Amino acid sequence: MQYLFVRIVKARGLHPCQSPHVKIRSGPIAGRSLPARDSGAGCPEWNQVFALSQSKPESTLEISVWEDGPNEAFLGGVCFNLTDVPVRDQPDGPLAPQWYKLEGASDDAPVTGDIMVAVWIGTQADESFPESWNSDAPYVSYAYTRSKVYQSPKMWYLRAYVIEAQDLRLASAAPLPPGVPYNSAMTRRPIAASSSSSSLSWMEDLMFVASEPLSNHEMIVEVEDRSTKEPESLGYAVVPVASVEQRLDERQAVASRWFNLESTATRDGYRGRIHLRLCLEGGYHVLDEAAHVSSDFRPTAKQLWKPAVGVLELGILGARGLIPMKTRGSTDAYCVAKYGKKWVRTRTITDSFDPRWNEQYTWQVYDPCTVLTVGVFDNWRMFDAAGNRQDYRIGKVRIRVSTLESNRVYTASYPLLRLLPSGVKKMGEVQLAVRFACAALLPNTCAMYAQPMLPRMHHLRPLGVLQQDVLRVSAIMLVSEWLERSEPPLGQEVVRYMLDVNWHSWSNRRSRANWFRIMGVVSWAFGLARWIDDIRRWRNPTTTVLVHVLYLVLVWYPELVVPTASLYVFLIGAWYSRFRPRAPAGMDVRLSQADMVDADDLDEEFDPVPSTKPAEVVRARYDRLRILAARVQRLLGDLAAQGERVQALISWRDPRATKLFIGACLVVALVFYVVPPKMIAVALGFYFLRHPMFRDPMPPASLNFFRRLPSLSDRML
């Protein structure tokens, strides 16, 4: 999309005036500069760029200078014929501004002076576009409407190995140290104590998240005596995070250090000392996204990064059919895209239900098994009267890079869906163009599929699931605070929505959706079982006879089993290639079970923790959850019973059953020693596929024997 760029630099030789400003007009599009900065000697400066949409090209451009005040005084102007304006193509250098003589003199108000401007026609790829005043967002705060590229802060895992403490002044030994800003942790009770109760040992690992610049963070280690009703502080130590040693992997040894404890309650400065081993772990990837939608798996230390395997190109074309978001019946939409450490924000298109952004961004791809997230938001922060009003979420789309074919451009519209307390609602559609640029069978790209997703340290010294969740919340807080300090700020509500901070919270709808996903995964096994049952029952005699012949061939020539199975899978995969998706899929309402969700389930899903609902509602939901948990409990009990019956075969809990089983094993061993295995396999296969006239409708003896085996269910209270 083409834009008319106008750079207003400065003026000279104007009539003496206070804070002149510049007006720009091209057809119906008009703009006004900020008040000038006077550099002295009557030479006001603006240094401002305007980008006027060329969707309806005009023939002229008018630039005029005016004096601020209740009655604006005309100071002169310049008129350009747009047919003479040069078109700038990338990668041409920036167009140099030139001096133009101001015109428009009259007998009453003579015009003097010159103005320095540069006028050219370009696109969104122009480096001046992100900083320009845009005609698509007039009359609003300029700072909150322009496009911007952000970078997440570089984050480290801070490992604190608490060894021991000495010379503590306490009556009973039960101290616990918590942690650092933004996240905290506590040790368990000491595992050893001296006879004097002044020396304690923990030998415990604690993990925290710290972000650069590290000089802004301090780690506070406090020892508390929790043997009494109220915790009593025994002393604390402050450790600058910037002074902590950094290491790349587990092979790098880290020396432990002693830190003196101080107390603010008394004037006695020395309160004992604590022994710690601190290090910043560069071999981990700091998780700020859910693992199943992560856009990056690189470790913190740049020395451990592997080369990029391609480039991800995203074109944010526009949206259509957006619903009104404000009481005045308008929508001021912008897009945010996140991949890896790079966030991008498009400009805000004001008062439009079908905004057109036509902006393009690129990312380096280090792992194709990652996810690009694109969200659409309604801008509230651009209005000064809105105060701290948060931007409204319209919807988001996720695209997995590995689902994109190499060097192919996918252009599609994706529905923007929001789950509201009233139900799922379509908020509109967003139009995206995506391309994964890489060699089709590049060795590095193919080799990625055989490598672990997370860095080496995650496998050598893995973090617990609960620990990862706690650290992820801390990382999200650091990222959101960092981006909110940018200009223009990216609100915490935007960051939390893009990072899907509440994905792990309880939802009856999600549980039902996951159950149907499991049923969808194992449905092929059910279909295979039905097909085998049809063969056993001779419902299609031709198919059953062919299966007999194939079975005989495979038994007599067992070396053909593996190649035949591999060829069969190859043919199935080649056949299904005809039905492969033609474009990356967006959010699926039916898969999410959002189209059939109950109103009470939605109300429970949006209820925070702790609950804000009346006691009667909470009690009813608790009873419903107990009924659901009882079904799960019964299923777990049945699974445990089957495993215990297998163990009971040789455990002699049922002596007669064990005697029968081991006797049958002896007979089977003798038969296999005497009879050729191929003959046994043919006999068993033909017995399994025998005609229904030779089949007993009752369950087989082997199944009856297994069901009669004892389990431990009868010994439970």
Confidence of residue 335 (pLDDT cuts 50, 70, 90): very high
**154 pLDDT more than 80:** yes
One-letter amino acid at 201 equals S
| 196 and 98 within one domain | no
Report, as an integer, the average pLDDT of 579-601: 84
Contact 299/285 with Cβ under 8 angstroms? Answer: yes
How many C-beta atoms surround the C-beta of residue 237 within 10 A?
20
What average pLDDT does range 603-607 have in this prediction? 82
Contact 61, 85 (CB under 8 A): yes
Average pLDDT over residues 279-288: 93
Region 654-660 average pLDDT? 91
Q: What is the pLDDT of residues 487-522, one digit of tens each?
A: 888 889 999 999 988 887 888 888 888 888 888 888
Are residues 451 and 488 both part of a single domain?
yes
Of 466, 498, 530, which residue sits at a domain end? 498
Q: What pLDDT, on the 0 to 100 scale, is given for residue 432? A: 95
Determine, yes or no, domain membership for 388: yes
- Are 266 and 310 contained in the same domain? no
Which domain-ending residue is among 247, 281, 315? 281
pLDDT of residue 173: 46
H/E element, 236: strand 232-240
Q: In terms of domains, do 275 and 300 share one? A: no
Of all helices (H) and strands (E), which one includes residue 527? helix 508-536
Residue 216 sits in the same domain as residue 329? no
The confidence score (pLDDT) of residue 185 equals: 63
Confidence grade of residue 394 (pLDDT, cut at 50, 70, 90): very high
Q: Is the pLDDT of residue 269 over 70?
A: no
Q: What is the pLDDT of residue 183?
A: 45
pLDDT higher than threshold 50 for residue 179: no
Do residue 277 and residue 303 come from a single domain?
no
Q: What pLDDT was estimated at residue 333?
A: 92
Kindly state whether residue 179 falls inside one of the protein's structural domains: yes
Which residue range is the domain that position 313 belongs to?
Answer: 291-498
Nearest to 285 by CA among 274, 276, 296: 296
155 vs 137: CA distance, rounded Å: 35
Give the per-residue pLDDT at 397: 95
pLDDT at 153: 93
Burial class (CB in 10 A: 0-12, 13-18, 19+), 712: middle
The amino acid sitting at 599 is A
Per mean pLDDT, which range of 142-156, 190-204, 500-514, 644-658 is the poorest? 190-204
Task: Count the neighbouring beta carbons within 10 Å of the beta carbon of residue 220.
Answer: 14
Higher-confidence position of 57 and 528: 528
pLDDT over threshold 90, residue 35? no
* Confidence band for 7, pLDDT divided at 50, 70 and 90: very high
Most confident of 198-202, 312-316, 560-564: 312-316
The residue among 562 and 70 whose pLDDT is bigger is 562
The answer to the question of residue 217 being in a domain is: yes
Average pLDDT, the chain: 85
Residue 139 has pLDDT above 80, yes or no: no
For range 357-363, the mean pLDDT? 90
Domain boundary (498, 518, 542) is at 498
Radius of gyration of the chain (CA): 36
262 in any annotated domain? yes
The structure's pTM equals 0.81
| Residues 332, 464 share a domain | yes
Whether residues 483 and 403 fall in one domain: yes
Residue 581 contacts by C-beta under 8 Å, 6 or more apart in sequence?
A: 403
Per-residue pLDDT band for 178 (boundaries 50, 70, 90) equals: very low
Stretch 658-668: mean pLDDT, rounded? 92
Which residues are 219's β-sheet partners? 239
Residue 408 lies in a domain: yes
pLDDT of 82-107, one tens digit each? Answer: 888 888 877 677 888 999 998 876 66
Mean pLDDT, residues 683-691 = 87
- In terms of domains, do 365 and 391 share one? yes
Instruction: For residue 169, give the CATH number of its domain.
Output: 2.60.40.150
The stretch 644-653 carries a mean pLDDT of 91
pLDDT at 107 (0 to 100)? 62
Q: Are residues 333 and 387 in the same domain?
A: yes
Predicted pLDDT of residue 233: 81
**Claim to verify: residue 23 and residue 162 sit in the same structural domain:** no
Of 13-17, 25-29, 225-229, give the lowest mean pLDDT range: 225-229
Q: What is the pLDDT of residue 180?
A: 37
pLDDT value of position 182: 37
- In this prediction, residue 396 has a pLDDT band, given cuts at 50, 70 and 90, of very high
The Cβ of residue 488 has, within 10 Å, a number of other Cβ atoms equal to: 20
Contact 170, 231 (CB under 8 A): no
Strands 273-281 and 246-247: parallel
pLDDT digits (tens, 9 = 90+) for 212-263: 988 888 898 888 877 777 777 888 889 999 999 999 888 888 899 999 888 7
Say whether both 397 and 471 belong to one domain: yes
Bond before 175 cis per omega within 30 degrees: no
**What local confidence, expressed as pLDDT, does residue 138 receive?**
59
Domain count for the chain? 3
| Percent of the chain at pLDDT exceeding 90 | 31
What pLDDT is stored for residue 174 in this prediction?
47
Cα(707)–Cα(69) distance, integer angstroms:
95
Q: Is the pLDDT of residue 184 over 70?
A: no
Q: Is 705 helix (H, G, I), strand (E, B) or coil?
A: helix
pLDDT reading at 191 higher than 70? no
- In a domain? residue 573: no
Which residue is associated with the tokens 């570089």? Answer: 154
Vertex 59: Cα angle to 57 and 64 (nearest 5)? 110
Higher pLDDT, 107 or 168: 168
Q: What is the 3-state secondary structure (H, E, C) of 587-630?
A: CCCCCCCCCCCCHHHHHHHCCCCCCCCCHHHHHHHHHHHHHHHH
Identify the residue with better confidence: 109 or 406.
Answer: 406
* pLDDT at residue 158 in the model: 94
Q: Tell me, yes or no, whether 423 lies in a domain.
A: yes
pLDDT tens by residue, 106-123: 666 678 888 999 998 888
Length of the chain: 717
pLDDT at 177 over 50: no
Domain membership of residue 542 (yes or no) is: no
